[in-house]
Structure 1
Amino acid sequence: MSVGDAFDEWADDGRDREMEDEHWATAKQLLARMPVEPGDRVLDLGTGSGYAPRAISQAADAGLAVGLDASPEMVTNARSYTDDSDVGFLAGDFHQLPFESESFDHCVSMESFFFATHPEELLAELRRVLRSGGTFYCGVNYYQENHYAHEWADRIEPEMLLWSATEYRSAFQNAGFQLAEQSYVPDRDTEIPPESEFPTAEFETREQMVERYRELGTLLTVAVVP
């Protein structure tokens, strides 16, 4: 099953809003770090429900915030969640971005980069559509060091890249980006019960849950076009 087909099913089941709720705790921190100025053009890669373009438009007064997704149904849903004329959505291929060269100031991708079947092609396309000095903020929970997320491969049908932090840095640099930052963004919104309530359905100990949400969190890699 393709990524688009898989997430069409998720959109039809209402899981786009579930993903938004799950990702927002760290996504809002990632978005707050982006140096978006009034009038900037921002691309959200793998937009899902479109929460990132909506938030960027409202908080930063971006000139245009565009969400791209491989799933037409996700795009249909995202369009229905806003009437902001400065926010747009379209379905498209990560590896052949339907935009002119140097047409965006920034790109953000939250929990979607690992669905790229040819990541080198995707990075080359991002280099093309971002202007000089443009930034790419890439956030992933599914990465090698986060062993708690490895079981996603058994639950999500499309194949996913399981890269380490080092592999993300190397791939971005090999694509011609300059690495500006790499860090772990904690989820501080998820409530962690007291020790007396463990084990839970997901964690044997409280220490494991603290590691998962407060220490590992989301791997953020920030790259800049020279």
Structure 2
Amino acid sequence: MTAQREFDQWAASGRDRDMEETHWNTAKHALAMMPVESGDAVLDLGTGSGYALRALDEIHALDRGVGLDASPEMATNAREYTRADSVGYTVADFHHLPLTDDSVDHVWSMEAFFFAHEPVEMLEEIRRVLRPGGTCFCLVNFYEESEQSHRWCDRIDLPMYLWSQREYRTLFREAGLRVAVQETIPDEEIDIPSGEQFPTDEWETREAMVDRYRTWGTLLTVGVAP
């Protein structure tokens, strides 16, 4: 299955809103860290429902927000959810961004990077469109150190690349981005039942669920364009 077909199905079934709800627990902490100023241009790769751009525009009054997704259905839904004229959505290949050089101030990407066919090529495109001093905020739940997330590749009929924290730093540097920050953001809001309520449909043990959400959470890597 292609990424377009997979995520078209997700959008049609309402999973875009489900992802927005679950991602928001950690996304909001990273969004608050972005050095966005009023009038900036922000690119969201793998925009899904467009929640990140809507939040940034509400707080900072963006000059331009561009949400890119491989799924036409995701982009259609995001347009329906968004009222701001400054934010728009399009379908595009992350490896060939339909933007001019030095045209955006910041890039946001959550739960999309591990689907890249050529990660360095994708990051080089991000580097190309970023203005000097611009930032790239990359967030992933699926990474090597978070062992409880590894089983996700069995649930999605797409290739998924499992990189370590060190490999993410290396990829950023190879593409010409300086790594300014790398940290994990725990999900402190998702409800974790008491031990007597396990196993559940998703988890064999409470310890496994705690490891996934409280210990490893979401990996944030921030790159800065020279």
TM-score, normalization by structure 1: 0.96
What residue number does 1:15 align with? 15
Matches within 5 A, 1:44-193: 44-193=44-193
The amino acid across from 1:205 in the alignment is T
What residue number does 1:35 align with? 35
Separation of aligned partners in 1, 2:37 and 2:5: 35
The amino acid across from 1:126 in the alignment is I
Contact 2:195 2:206 in 1 (8 A): yes
Mean Cα displacement is larger for which, 33-42 or 13-22? 13-22
Mean Cα displacement is larger for which, 105-114 or 200-209? 200-209
Structure 1 residue runs without a partner (length 5+): none
What residue number does 1:198 align with? 198
Give the root-mean-square deviation of aligned CA atoms.
Answer: 1.1
**1:190 Cα offset (Å):** 0.2
Contact 2:26 2:186 in 1 (8 A): yes
Contact 2:107 2:135 in 1 (8 A): yes
The amino acid across from 2:211 in the alignment is E
Separation of aligned partners in 1, 2:90 and 2:197: 45
**1:22 Cα offset (Å):** 1.5
- Count how many residue pairs are aligned between Structure 1 and Structure 2: 226
SS at 2:158 equivalent: coil
The one-character-per-residue Cα deviations of 1:164-202 (angstroms, maximum 9, x if unpaired) are 111000010111111101100111110122233333333
**1:59 Cα offset (Å):** 1.5
SS at 2:62 equivalent: coil
Mean Cα displacement is larger for which, 16-25 or 97-106? 16-25
SS at 1:182 equivalent: strand
Separation of aligned partners in 2, 1:193 and 1:15: 23
The amino acid across from 1:89 in the alignment is Y
TM-score, normalization by structure 2: 0.96
**1:67 Cα offset (Å):** 0.6
